[in-house]
Each structure stands twice: as structure tokens, then as C-alpha cells.
Amino acid sequence: MKKTSSVFTVVIFAFLYVPMIVLAVASFNTGTDISVFKSFTLNNYRELLRDNVLLPLLLNSVIVAVISSLFATVLGTAAALGIHSMGGRMRRMTMALTNIPLTNPEIVTGISLALVFVFVGQVMKIKSVMGFVTLLIAHITFNLPYVILSVLPKLRQMDDHLSEAAMDLGCTPSQAFFKVVLPEIMPGVISGALMAFTMSLDDFVISYFVYGPGFVTLPVEIYNYTKKPLQPKIYALFTFMFIIILLAMIIMNILQARDSRRGSRSLRRRSTNA
């Protein structure tokens, strides 16, 4: 059973990574046709570095991702603290609210936000309402649930008496939070922030409905590109981004490993005596 599933797993992983390999190979191709590999070149990367369209767009994406994930992390962590101390109906209602952006199809989230922005624009007589601000609001909105869902379990693991103990020893409530609670839930906060960052960096569907011509992110531009003939430097950009995300994931992985090791260390020490 285990052997068969191992073979199967390898096949599925190959399936998951074949398109990546195609794109990575295409980034070193001299030809423009992705299906035909002519010869090896680094030209696409050189062109990418000289490019003054794609890189600024990437920068735009990063700006939106950083600001929206930071904002969502602060707002979301505060919200998680609140939700943690809620009970019964209040909690259920808040969690239902949190689940809306997660369970709604992205396209619905996108167009519903777009309609609100257009509506507000009409009321306030703003001509082109879509832009950086609308994009940022949309990104914060869909980032928030990810932060909350990764902070809440950490709060649940935490001993509720910790902050009481801190205050008993003389902390003010805010000191108790920063000195005791926050360090305890930090792994959840960080992984929530990283998740929000990657989600935001990669988002296309929602951004597509709320971006304005004045501020375009990379995924949106790639979509517009794919309607025209593709430039191979996009593949180079992809390969570059793949490496960035790989690094981000490795960092996340190490953080999680450290977190879980801290938790299981005492257990493991005992169980080796068994």
C-alpha cells in the first residue's frame, strides 16, 4: 500500500511541476515560441533587467502586498484577540463574517467590491475611482481572514492565565500583551503575514476588477499580455519569482519547524526513556 502510493505520489508531483519546468526552460530559450526550444540564452534575463515595464509592475505588486499584508496583520491580530475572548453567538457571527471572503467565489468578491467602488464614485462624483486605494482595500479585505485563521489557533494553544499572571506581576494590560501574549502567538502572526503577503502578491482575479489604469499589478498585466503575443522575458520573470517564493517558503518552513520543535522537545525527551 505504501509503495504503490509512493509511486503515485511521485507521479502527481511530476504533474504539479511539469508546467513549472516548461516555463523555466522557456526562460532560457532564444526563440519566442514556448513550445519549441531553439538554443540556450540568458538574454531574456538581461532584457528583464533592462525592462522598464515589468519590473515597475512587480514593484507595484510588492508595494500592495507589503502594505496590505502589514495592515491586515495588525487589524487581523487585534481582531483575533477579540474573537478569542468572545463567546457563543457573537463569536459565531464574527466567524461567519470572516468566512465570507473565503467561501465566496473570488470573482464575486471582485465584482461586488468593484460595484461598491463604482457606486461610491458615482455618489461622490469621482470620475475614475479605481486605483491604488481601491486595490489596497480589496487586498486587505481578502488578506484579513488568513491572518485571523492563523493567529486564532495559537491563541487557543496559549494558556489563558498567561496575561493574568503577567498583570499579577505588575504589567499593565498593554505591557502584558506586548511582553507575554504577542511573543507567544508570534509564529501564528508571522505565518499569517507571510500567507497574506503571498496571496496578495499573486492575486489576479480580485485585482482584475478593482485596479485602475494608474496603478497596475504584475498579475493583471500578465493577463493583459497573454491576450497579445507573449514576450519570453515574462518566463524569465516567472523563474525569478519562483525562486523568491521558494525562499519565502523555506523561511516559513524553518519558522514552523522551530515552533513545533519547541513544543515537542519536552515530550520527546521523555519518550526516549520509554
Partner 1 sequence: MKNKLSSGPYLVWMTLFTVVPLVIVVYYAFTDSVTGRFTLGNVETVKNYIPIFLRSVWLALVSSLICLLLGYPVAWRIAQAGPKSQRLLYMLVMLPMCISFLLRTLAWVALLEDTGIINGFFIKLGLPPLPLIRTNGAVILGMVYNYLPYMIMPLYTVIMKIDRRLIEAAQDLGCGGAQVFAKVTLPLSVPGIISGVTMVFVPAVSTFYISQKLGNTGTTLIGDVIESQFKTAYNPNLGAALSLVLMIIVLACTALMNRFSGDDESVATV
Partner 2 sequence: MSKELIRLADCCMAFDGEVVLNNINLYINDSEFLTLLGPSGCGKTTTLRIIGGFQKPTSGDVLFDGVRINDVPPHKRQVNTVFQRYALFPHLDVYDNIAFGLRLKKLPESETASRVRDMLALVGMKGFEERKIDSLSGGQMQRIAIARALVNRPKVLLLDEPLGALDLRLRKDMQNELKRIQQQMGITFIYVTHDQEEALTMSDTIVVMDHGRIQQIGKPEDIYNEPKNAFVADFIGESNILDGVMRADRLVEFLGRRFPCVDFGFDKDEPVDVVIRPEDIDIVAADSGHLCGSVTSVTFKGVHYDIIVDFHGFKWLIQTTDYHPVGANIGIRLEPEDIHIMKKSEYSGMFGDYSSYSAEYDEIGDAEADAAGEESENEE
- Select the binding partner of residue 63 from partner 2, partner 1, none (C-beta < 5 to 8 A, by kind): none
Query: Residue 272 interacts with partner 2 (CB under 8 A)?
Result: yes
Nearest Cα residue to 207 out of 57, 76, 75: 57
Q: What's the min distance (Å) between Cβ of 96 and partner 2?
A: 24
Question: In angstroms, rounded to a whole number, what is the distance separating the alpha carbons of residues 185 and 181?
Answer: 6
> Between residues 156 and 268, which has the closer beta carbon with respect to partner 2?
268
Q: How far apart are CA 271 and CA 274, in angstroms?
A: 5
Question: Rounded to an integer, what distance in angstroms lies between the CA atom of residue 227 and that of residue 270?
Answer: 61
* Smallest separation, CB 218 to partner 2 (Å): 46
Residues 45-84 that bind partner 1 (CB under 8 A): 75-76, 78-84
Site for partner 1 in 233-272 (CB under 8 A): 234-235, 238, 241-242, 245-246, 248-250, 253, 256-257
Q: Which of residues 241-270 bind partner 2 (CB under 8 A)?
A: 267-268, 270
Sign of CA dihedral 59, 60, 63, 66: negative
Q: Amino acid identity, residue 71?
A: F
Site size toward partner 2 (CB under 8 A) is: 7
The Cα diameter of the chain in Å comes to 74
Nearer to partner 2, 39 or 273 (CB): 273
Report how far residue 209's alpha carbon sits from residue 216's, in angstroms, rounded to the nearest whole number: 11
Retrieve residue 134's grid coordinates.
481601491
Residues of span 181-220 touching partner 1 by CB under 8 A: 198, 202, 204-205, 209, 218-219
Q: Distance of CA 16 to CAs 11, 28, 156, Å?
A: 9, 21, 34
Minimal distance, residue 263 CB to partner 2, in Å: 13
CB of 74 to partner 1, least distance (A): 9
Please give the residue ranges that form the binding site for partner 2 (CB under 8 A): 267-268, 270-274
